[in-house]
A and B are shown apart, each in its own frame.
Chain A
Amino acid sequence: MPRYNAPIMCIDQNETRRYAGLKGQTNFPDTLIEQACTEALIMTTPKGTWNTYPYNATTQTILSNPPLKLTSTNLSRHLEKAVEVVIIAVTIGEQIETKISELFTAGNYTLGLLLDAAGTAAVETVADAINNFITVQNTNRGLQPIWRFSPGYGDWSITDQPHILALADGSSAGIKVTPSCMLMPRKSVTAIIGLVPKEIISTSITCNKTSCERCSHQNCLARKESQT
């Protein structure tokens, strides 16, 4: 089980604004965003772990022991050219959650909200760094990772969360899953990254981040504006 506690030296303020629902707003004090990003950074303990498995795209099955059959149409389509999959689990720890609760109790609602957004930006940055690590490691095998897909995206049910966490060996990074399939610490991410032969990539598949367009949460605070 590979392990990479990817360091993050800054939290993206624009992403924090987006997760806080500020979209294109410019008349919100930068100092508060900056403060939230700095505090979140101090409370972040990044941890990441993953495992690689062969994948049968025809039967939509991860060839783990025991195998895991994927039932999500969106995910199966996303992985249709993959020959292997990497299952990752990433967290920034729970210190930040305690702080957010404390801030709300003390009436510092805005910083609490922004810290939550900065935490989301942070865990995504850690996941990006691990994604990059996996890219570098697999390029030399002629395999190219495609963008990560998490339980809950599209029609992929979060009830797969316990299986995915186990396949990533997420418990070794201190991540647990509740009976209702939520990750603890809350600022954690699991995802599947398809590995596709490079010759196919160049012709037919995009490796970039999935946009918000496919997501059904139309009134999500962080929804990105359509590119078109």
Chain B
Amino acid sequence: MIYIFDGAMGTMLQENGLPPGYCPELWNLEQPEKVTAIHRCYVDIGADIIETNTLGANRIKLTHYHLSDQVAALNHAAVRTARAACGPTTKIAGSVGPTGKLIAPLGDLTFETAYNVFFEQISALSDAGADYIIIETIIDIQEMRAALLAAKAATNKPVICQLTFGDDGRTVTGTDPATAAIILEALGADIIGANCSLGPDKLLNIINTFAAHCNVPLSVQPNAGMPELINGQTVFPMGPVEFAAWGPKLIAAGASYIGGCCGTTPSHIKELRKTITPSIKIKRPTAISHTALTSRSKTIFLGADLPTAIIGERINPTGRKTLAADIRAGNYSGIKKEALAQVKAGASILDVNMGVPGIDQATTMRQVIEDLSLLVNVPLAIDTTDAATLEAGLRAFPGRALINSISAEPERLETFLPLAKKYGAAILCLPIAAGGVPKSVSERVQIASTIVDAALNIGLRPKDLLLDALVMTVAADATAAQQTLETLRQYRKNFGFPTVMGLSNISFGLPRRSQLNSAFYAMAVASGLDAPILNPYDQEMLDMRNAAACLLGHDSSGQQYSLTYSAAQPLSQTKEMLTNNPLAAVRQAIINGEKELVPDLICQCLSAGIKPPDITDQALTPAMNTVGEAFSQGHSFLPQVMLAAETMRVAFLTIKENMPAHQAVSVGTVILATVQGDIHDLGKNIVAALLENNGFAVIDLGKDVSPTTVVQAAIEHKADIIGLCALMTTTMPQIDATIEALKQNKILAKTIVGGAVLTSEYAAQAGADAYASDGVQAVNIAKKLLKI
């Protein structure tokens, strides 16, 4: 059965005299007959479902018109005006649009506020007698999640969820249609669809993708093409016939609810009606049946025929004092580092455990999930035994998470399963019952079966379930590994759900754990393990993962394996030189910026009896000169110069450590400052670093430095040179002011100026002795001015 929606409401209201800037929903109360007349136009030409004039009738949108206390009245009136136009079979869909704000952390609206705002509007629409709730034109999946959760709590009526996609096939906050379909179907959307922003041609692909990833009916309401603004009027280019011609294609793609959005009129819907046979049976393609987890913008499928998915275990404070202390202090940079590094090391799902005793775990979980959702695009597994923490995490995560885990203990089944159902999460079934940890394979399968039955009874689907095979330590029980491997095989045979387990427990208490873990990994994936929880950094395990992927046929022709292992490690040129000539090796290490090699090389020189001044004169200074020249000639670039300077600094520090009595002689004192009012100091810092490593004593006064401070420092330190920097035209005059102050105080030190906006002409008129365009030039000029 195909259902025809109506077309645009806003355009029709304007045509009927709605003044620009006036609240469209207010007409439900003030001009109900006009709104009813528009509805009737659509009913008369054959719309099966009409939408209420309530797209912006939520508390936040209505605040613009000082009508936030009218939510119930406007929504009730809207259903009344729609009902007045209905034929005997016409249905009313209560329209719920976006709040216009993004939910934190993308915006400043809290999830709870959004939820309450939607709950208020949807309750009003439902109470007033709407037949469906249609949440539409939503651009962010998290806002849709809040609205859908609110709808499920407010009403039993069918809920249609329509997102708005951009030209790139994603919502503006990054969700692709496959991910959206998976999240929304799991959350309980009755109908999933797309509307607005794009014409029917562009929405066709999106409907195709929806159809491939969910089983619920699909809806589509395209615009009449992409609009243009002509003489101040928004004009949609697609006429009724052209628009309607897309109808059968959209239906063939899987849509069974079809209507129009911006720019469509009763004529468009009339033509659409003509092209569609209502009783047509649509043949939907079979949707992918794999278990899927998603983030906001990415889906990971799990299953026997798919590549092994790694669940990174590192975001877990158990046994890690620093991470636990950071979490306790609310410092999540360590967690963020772990997240990025694990994804880089191949994790496609991240486990998140905030089990630090004595903290508010629910709040911490919410904050960490929010932070991670901004930083990485992989799905998350929420690892907790606390229901409040689990709910906080599930609510905050803008995707479909995995719950790690649900055992067969009654209180866990009672509290966790409803949360999984409510938030559309997948669950990891852990075969532990009230009596403790089962040893035998049959007991594990039996307990897993209990959890699976309870999950299916509460309404979870088979593709929401994953099974944990349970890993005990082989040091305590010689058959532990065998039991687990057999459990994996039995799981595959009896259930077919994806399997998960934490591997490393197998080697607890034994040496060379990495070796045991990786051997166990190979055996487990061969026995049916789909998603191991492990430390993705472990090199031995990484090698085994690569080998196993190749052997299991997930790495076509071993291409990735070859790429990873065929590259030979080049020998360092410096290392080769070492035995022949230690000074040359130091010189080369500075030029190459090989900071790690330099301490050893300096020690070699000192052991060979080479004196520090000779190291400086014959290796360090010539090296910096070479780097400087290469920079001046455009053969090397600033980061390379800085790397050389950094290596030089390490060389000096090594000399000092080994020969504390040695005092390097300063070739001159330089005062450096970014002038008053200017807060940019990167360039000045670079100059300071280069001068220091060329033997100058540098007094760095920092940024935003007043002329008086420069004068005082020049006197105090008996400066030879004063370097001033300004980056902006607004602060450039401070160069003049500072030089003037120096002259008035009869400071004889030479002045060098520089910075993005400065030129040699400006330097000359300001009375500076020199202008340097970059750090290397500054060093050369300083040497020249002091005749070094």
A182 contacts partner chain B, Cβ-Cβ < 8 Å: yes
Specify which of A5, A32, A184, A219 is in contact with B374 (CB 8 Å cutoff): A5
Contact A4 B729 (CB under 8 A): no
A20 contacts partner chain B, Cβ-Cβ < 8 Å: yes
A114 contacts partner chain B, Cβ-Cβ < 8 Å: yes
Q: Which residues of A contact B100 (CB under 8 A)?
A: 2
Given A143-B229, A184-B679, A41-B639 contact (CB < 8 Å): no
Contact A141 B229 (CB under 8 A): yes
Q: Which residues of B contact A141 (CB under 8 A)?
A: 227, 229, 234
A136 contacts partner chain B, Cβ-Cβ < 8 Å: yes
Q: Which residues of B contact A109 (CB under 8 A)?
A: 642-643, 645-646, 649, 685-686, 689
**A21-29, A55-63, A66-74: which one contacts chain B?**
A21-29
Q: Which residue of A lies closest to B236 (CB)?
A: A142
Contact B105 A5 (CB under 8 A): yes
Specify which of A38, A83, A182 is in contact with B229 (CB 8 Å cutoff): A83
Contact B226 A113 (CB under 8 A): no
B773 contacts partner chain A, Cβ-Cβ < 8 Å: yes
Q: Which residues of A contact B155 (CB under 8 A)?
A: none
- Mask: chain B, 226-239; 1 = CB below 8 Å from A; 0 = not: 11111000110000
Contact A9 B376 (CB under 8 A): yes
Number of interface residues of A (CB under 8 A): 59
Contact A219 B773 (CB under 8 A): yes
For the complex, give the distance between the alpha carbons of A180 and B679 in Å.
9
Contact A220 B637 (CB under 8 A): no
- Mask: chain A, 3-18; 1 = CB below 8 Å from B; 0 = not: 1111101000000000
Specify which of B139, B228, B640 is in contact with A198 (CB 8 Å cutoff): B228
B682 contacts partner chain A, Cβ-Cβ < 8 Å: yes
Q: Which residues of B contact A133 (CB under 8 A)?
A: 172
A166 contacts partner chain B, Cβ-Cβ < 8 Å: no
For the complex, give the distance between the alpha carbons of A184 and B223 in Å.
42
**B145-153, B207-215, B333-341: which one contacts chain A?**
B333-341
Contact A110 B677 (CB under 8 A): no
Contact A199 B373 (CB under 8 A): no
Central interface residue in A142, A143, A179, A181, by most chain B CB within 10 Å = A142
Q: Which residue of B lies closest to A143 (CB)?
A: B229
Contact A7 B375 (CB under 8 A): yes
Give the residues from 38 to 67 in chain A that come closer than 8 angstroms, CB to CB, to chain B: 38, 41-43, 46
Contact A4 B340 (CB under 8 A): no
Specify which of A9, A28, A137 is in contact with B640 (CB 8 Å cutoff): A28
Contact A199 B226 (CB under 8 A): no
Given A3-B108, A28-B637, A110-B593 contact (CB < 8 Å): yes
Q: Which residue of A lies closest to B645 (CB)?
A: A109
Specify which of B101, B106, B166, B730 is in contact with A159 (CB 8 Å cutoff): B730
Minimum distance in angstroms from A68 CB to a CB of chain B? 18
Specify which of A22, A140, A178 is in contact with B639 (CB 8 Å cutoff): A22
For the complex, give the distance between the alpha carbons of A109 and B685 in Å.
8
Q: Which residue of A lies closest to B171 (CB)?
A: A136
Q: Which residue of B lies closest to A134 (CB)?
A: B172
Given A9-B375, A178-B679, A182-B680, A28-B235 contact (CB < 8 Å): no
Contact B229 A4 (CB under 8 A): no
Minimum distance in angstroms from B571 CB to a CB of chain A? 16
Q: Which residues of A contact B341 (CB under 8 A)?
A: 38
- Mask: chain B, 216-249; 1 = CB below 8 Å from A; 0 = not: 0000000100111110001100000000000000
- Mask: chain B, 627-665; 1 = CB below 8 Å from A; 0 = not: 000000000111110110110011001000000000000
For the complex, give the distance between the alpha carbons of A162 and B689 in Å.
34
- Mask: chain B, 289-321; 1 = CB below 8 Å from A; 0 = not: 000000000000000000000000000000000
Main secondary structure on chain B at its contact with chain A? Answer: loop
Contact A136 B639 (CB under 8 A): no
Give the residues from 372 to 427 in chain B that come closer than 8 angstroms, CB to CB, to chain A: 373-377
Contact B637 A197 (CB under 8 A): no
Q: Which residue of A lies closest to B378 (CB)?
A: A9
B699 contacts partner chain A, Cβ-Cβ < 8 Å: no
- Mask: chain A, 205-225; 1 = CB below 8 Å from B; 0 = not: 000000000000101110000
Central interface residue in A83, A107, A139, A186, by most chain B CB within 10 Å = A107
For the complex, give the distance between the alpha carbons of A157 and B728 in Å.
10
Q: Which residues of A contact B139 (CB under 8 A)?
A: 136
Place the interface of chain B in its size category.
Answer: 35 or more
For the complex, give the distance between the alpha carbons of A158 and B106 in Å.
29
Minimum distance in angstroms from A71 CB to a CB of chain B? 14
B262 contacts partner chain A, Cβ-Cβ < 8 Å: yes
A124 contacts partner chain B, Cβ-Cβ < 8 Å: no
Q: Which residues of A contact B681 (CB under 8 A)?
A: 101
Q: Which residue of B lies closest to A138 (CB)?
A: B229
Q: Which residues of A contact B593 (CB under 8 A)?
A: 29, 110
Contact B756 A217 (CB under 8 A): yes
Minimum distance in angstroms from B429 CB to a CB of chain A? 31
Contact A142 B728 (CB under 8 A): no
A112 contacts partner chain B, Cβ-Cβ < 8 Å: yes
B102 contacts partner chain A, Cβ-Cβ < 8 Å: yes
Minimum distance in angstroms from A153 CB to a CB of chain B? 13
Given A142-B235, A199-B229, A186-B680 contact (CB < 8 Å): yes
Specify which of B101, B235, B374, B730 is in contact with A3 (CB 8 Å cutoff): B101
Given A110-B639, A180-B728, A100-B230 contact (CB < 8 Å): no
Q: Which residues of A contact B262 (CB under 8 A)?
A: 140
B107 contacts partner chain A, Cβ-Cβ < 8 Å: yes
Contact A107 B649 (CB under 8 A): yes
For the complex, give the distance between the alpha carbons of A137 and B636 in Å.
44
Given A21-B637, A113-B682, A199-B229, A220-B197 contact (CB < 8 Å): no
Q: Which residues of B contact A199 (CB under 8 A)?
A: 228-230
Contact B679 A42 (CB under 8 A): no
A171 contacts partner chain B, Cβ-Cβ < 8 Å: no
Q: Which residues of B contact A38 (CB under 8 A)?
A: 337, 340-341
Minimum distance in angstroms from A82 CB to a CB of chain B? 11
Q: Which residue of A lies closest to B676 (CB)?
A: A180
Q: Which residue of B lies closest to A195 (CB)?
A: B229
B624 contacts partner chain A, Cβ-Cβ < 8 Å: no
B196 contacts partner chain A, Cβ-Cβ < 8 Å: yes
B731 contacts partner chain A, Cβ-Cβ < 8 Å: yes
Q: Which residues of B contact A42 (CB under 8 A)?
A: 333, 336-337, 340, 375
For the complex, give the distance between the alpha carbons of A179 and B677 in Å.
7
Contact B107 A110 (CB under 8 A): no
For the complex, give the distance between the alpha carbons of A26 and B223 in Å.
48
Given A42-B333, A142-B227, A181-B756 contact (CB < 8 Å): no
For the complex, give the distance between the alpha carbons of A7 and B175 in Å.
13
Q: Which residues of A contact B196 (CB under 8 A)?
A: 140
Give the residues from 152 to 185 in chain A that come closer than 8 angstroms, CB to CB, to chain B: 152, 157-159, 178-182, 184
Given A41-B375, A42-B333, A142-B229, A157-B682 contact (CB < 8 Å): no
Give the residues from 325 to 349 in chain B that come closer than 8 angstroms, CB to CB, to chain A: 333, 336-337, 340-341
- Mask: chain B, 171-192; 1 = CB below 8 Å from A; 0 = not: 0101000000000000000000
Minimum distance in angstroms from B224 CB to a CB of chain A? 11
Minimum distance in angstroms from A143 CB to a CB of chain B? 6
B33 contacts partner chain A, Cβ-Cβ < 8 Å: no
Which residues of A approach B to under 8 Å, CB–CB?
A: 2-7, 9, 20-23, 25, 28-29, 32, 38, 41-43, 46, 83, 100-101, 104, 107-110, 112-114, 116, 132-133, 136-137, 139-143, 152, 157-159, 178-182, 184, 186, 197-199, 217, 219-221
20 A-B contacts (beta carbon < 8 Å):
A2-B100, A5-B107, A21-B637, A22-B640, A25-B636, A25-B637, A25-B640, A28-B637, A104-B685, A109-B642, A109-B645, A137-B172, A139-B227, A142-B234, A158-B730, A179-B677, A180-B678, A180-B730, A182-B730, A182-B731
Give me the 10 closest cross-chain CB pairs, A-B, nearest first: A142-B229, A180-B677, A197-B229, A7-B374, A142-B227, A21-B638, A109-B642, A180-B730, A104-B685, A110-B642
Besides the contacts A5-B107, A107-B646, A136-B172, what 4 more A-B pairs have beta carbons closer than 8 Å? A107-B689, A108-B646, A109-B645, A199-B228
